[in-house]
A and B are shown apart, each in its own frame.
Chain A
Amino acid sequence: MRDTFKMSEIILNIDGLKTYFFTEAGVVQAVDGISFNLRKGESLGLVGESGSGKTVTALSVLRIVPRPGKIVEGKIEFNGHDLLKKTEEEMRKMRGSEIAIIFQDPSSSLNPVYTIKSQLGDVISAHQSLSKEQVEEKVIELLRLVGLPDAETRMHEYPHQFSGGMKQRVAIARALTLEPKLLFADEPTTNLDVTIQAQVLDLLNDLKKKLGMSLVMITHDMGIIAELTARIVVLYAGRVCEIARTHDLFELPRHPYTAALLAAVPRLDMRKTLRVIPGNIPNLIEPPSGCRFHPRCDFATEACSKMVPVLEEVGPDHFVACHEWRNISLKGERTSRE
């Protein structure tokens, strides 16, 4: 993909990634030729509905795709290293220290039988040789960083003694233990209440600035994306539909799916007619031919069912995979009081 930025500024480059799941029912093409890149210090949004391949993309970068999934094709470059050529041992060293991930459900990603101190301490000791006291100090420092009150006492407690929001803070602290350069946040606030979600999003944003990390925010919530990211990659059924700067994507979406998604989301600041996207998310064992969105698309032509659209540059930093983009005009999201 052509890019206006120099290669040196790119921290992650994914090119033609295909990750399939070889199940008894058939081959699930969960990620089918995804390409995008991430710049140093950037917040990138990875948006899509369930089954769009958001999480599998993140798992592929960390090379922790669960069986029967396998990366079958493509290239993942991180800081100039080809991650798919690394040995398992080399990858293990990178996980946590270079690239980290936080998951949706902190209750299942923290071990219930260990104290918070031992879970965070283990990560530190696995990568650095520090004395017991130094490890403890570091744990306290991390818990303070994520705003856990009374860290000295609470680090001796177990996950079940924490609320959902606090558990997610602990999970964030654990992900940041080794100061990774790249953080994947996979729906980090979906399980949390709105007021707690606001706290956690604020924290992530602060930490990203403080630590100079690059962040990939995976979510289906267009509100979080609008607020937290600078650029967005829209996924549908395992492929990229559109890549654009956040502002441009909301103002002038070029892919019919992006526009439809924006029109389908209710807004708190105004009442609007919700546009419905007809049909359902396709089955990825036998995905639709050509453009995978064509059976649900208002603008589909015969070509859309036959040829797979490729990403085309339609403006600065703006790419779209749609045969019809030149012939259609789409409406973006109107601003509050127009």
Chain B
Amino acid sequence: MKKEIGVVHAVDNISFDIRKQETFGLVGESGCGKTTTARLILNLIEPTSGEVLFQGENVYEKIKSPNTQEKLRFRRKMQLIFQNPYGSLDPRMTVFDIISEPFLIHKHIPKKEWKEQVYKLLNLVGLEEYHAERYPHEFSGGQRQRICIARALAVQPEFLIADEPVSSLDVSIRAQILNLLGKLQKEIGLTYLYISHDLSSVRQISHRVAVMYLGEIVELAATDELFEKPLHPYTVALIQAVPIPDPKTKRLKIILPGEVPSPINPPVGCRFQPRCPYAKECREETPKLMDAGGGHLVACHRAFAR
């Protein structure tokens, strides 16, 4: 589990790596750059500077490659599933057409095997073969998200980016999709980048987690380490802001004052300092993301002052 499959330098000087077959969680509030990071990794938007390496190869060079076959081969390795399964399925296509469309584009499956492959994919995501002839509107939100996952898996990717995949689903359905993602990882060895603002689901599914604030990564650690021993004041506040579904648990509450500032004109020094209860000379110097011990990375002057 040491092989790196990606190294990113993006959004505002962020760097991280994702290991093979792990689930890497990316959390933060709206506007912190989570989705932009996902789009940068897939080269759906181009970075101002920096690079993304996937299995040692530069994503931008590969995707800009004049060799179409080479480009498609690379595209097949990485796939994306979106938050809204209502907006990401064409209402005029049957499920069969939706799931087999990648075959048409990538031509990696001979036509006579399409049916068999579609059925296999439907079974894999917990749907039935007869669903293939139906249209998206005949399905519930959870089932549609399963269709989106099946479509993403049609090109046999190794790496899947899931951008808020359960946020628009009902509570009883969220568990179904989270468990399905876990099952698929075990069965076909997928690697995930799981993006969400919902800390509880991130804790549930991720092996390692990075916390973003205003375009920067402020903390990165193994999941249990991060949630049990958070070092950055923003991570602490974020964790404490989540209500616990247990009336016997009395959580400590530090209510963070103010709101996330505009990324057009971010605060100087540490970007969190205007809202930070411990800020001292944090305006002077921008903290760097550094190892505080055992691979627990944090960008905070206070964490290293002690």
Contact = CB atoms under 8 A, between A and B. Distances in A.
Interface of A: 49-50, 163, 165-166, 193-199, 201-202, 220-228, 246-247, 250, 260-262, 264-269, 271-272, 274-277, 280-281, 333, 335-336
Interface in B164-180: 170-176, 178-179
Minimum-distance CB pairs A-B, first 7: A223-B243, A222-B245, A198-B241, A266-B204, A193-B29, A274-B175, A277-B172
B142 interface: yes
Interface in B110-150: 140, 142-143
Given A274-B178, A281-B170, A227 B255 contact: no
Given A198-B241, A267-B244, 20 more contacts: A49-B172, A163-B259, A194-B238, A195-B237, A223-B243, A224-B243, A227-B251, A250-B245, A264-B172, A265-B245, A266-B178, A268-B203, A271-B224, A272-B204, A276-B172, A277-B172, A281-B140, A333-B246, A335-B246, A336-B248
Nearest to A249: B247
Given A220-B171, A260-B172, A280-B140, A246 B247 contact: yes
A198 B253 contact: yes
B259 A196 contact: yes
A28 B227 CA distance: 44
Contacts of A267: 200, 203, 244-246
Interface of B: 29-30, 140, 142-143, 170-176, 178-179, 197, 199-201, 203-204, 224, 227, 237-249, 251, 253, 255-256, 259-260
Contacts of A277: 172-173, 175-176
A268 B179 contact: no
14 contacts: A49-B170, A194-B238, A202-B253, A202-B255, A226-B243, A226-B245, A247-B247, A269-B246, A274-B204, A277-B173, A277-B176, A333-B245, A335-B248, A336-B249
Given A224-B243, A227-B243, A268-B200, A276 B176 contact: yes
A306 B2 CA distance: 58
Contacts, number: 134
A306 to B, nearest CB: 24
A265 B173 CA distance: 10
B246 A225 contact: no
Contact of B175 (A246, A247, A264): A264
B249 to A, nearest CB: 6
B19 to A, nearest CB: 19
Given A49-B170, A265-B171, A194 B29 contact: yes
A268 B248 CA distance: 15
Contacts of A166: 259
B20 to A, nearest CB: 22
A193 B179 contact: no
Contacts of A335: 246, 248-249
Contacts of B173: 277, 280
Given A220-B171, A226-B247, A264-B171, A195 B200 contact: no
A316 B237 CA distance: 38
A274 B182 CA distance: 11
A276 B166 CA distance: 14
B147 to A, nearest CB: 14
A145 B236 CA distance: 28
B263 to A, nearest CB: 13
A193 B30 contact: yes
A264 B249 contact: no
B5 to A, nearest CB: 24
Contacts of B227: 268-269
Given A201-B243, A223-B245, A268 B199 contact: yes
Contacts of A262: 245
A49 B171 contact: yes
Given A193-B29, A260-B172, A271-B203, A227 B179 contact: no
A198 B245 contact: no
Nearest to B30: A193
Contact of A266 (B203, B224, B239, B259): B203
Nearest to A280: B140
A271 to B, nearest CB: 6
Q: Which of A202, A220, A276, A333 has the most CB of B within 10 A?
A: A276
B145 to A, nearest CB: 12
B206 to A, nearest CB: 10
Nearest to A165: B259
Contacts of B238: 194-195
